[in-house]
């Protein structure tokens, strides 16, 4: 079930919003989709930052293991 809300926007933001509405669309649909898109981007950013931290934490170990593997290949 949808709920009504009130949002205050600057004239510039409102003009941008109206310019982005596709045929048959409306402001509410566009704002709702923008919220879902923003939430997804933030979720991905948090995941990517977590993954990057894991890779950085384990980089020394992975590099040592790779060096060992390469030594076996060239012995």
38 vs 47: CA distance, rounded Å: 14
Instruction: Tell me how far apart the alpha carbons of residues 55 and 73 are, in angstroms, rounded to a whole number.
Output: 25
For 10, 26, 44, 56, the CA distances from 35, given in Å and listed in that order, are 18, 15, 14, 31
Q: Which residue has the higher pLDDT, 68 or 31?
A: 31
Task: Give the distance between the most distant pair of CA atoms in the chain.
Answer: 71
1-55 pLDDT tens trace: 999 999 999 999 999 999 999 999 999 999 999 999 999 999 999 999 999 999 8
Q: Is residue 60 scored above 90 in pLDDT?
A: no
Q: What is the pLDDT of residue 65?
A: 87
pTM for this one?
A: 0.69
């Amino acid at each position: 079930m949808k709920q009504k809300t009130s949002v205050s926007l600057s004239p510039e933001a409102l003009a941008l919003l109206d310019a982005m509405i596709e045929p048959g669309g409306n402001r509410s649909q566009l704002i709702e989709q923008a919220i879902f898109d923003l939430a997804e981007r933030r979720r991905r950013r948090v995941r990517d930052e977590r993954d990057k931290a894991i890779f950085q934490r384990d980089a020394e170990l992975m590099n040592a293991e790779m060096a060992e593997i390469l030594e076996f290949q060239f012995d």
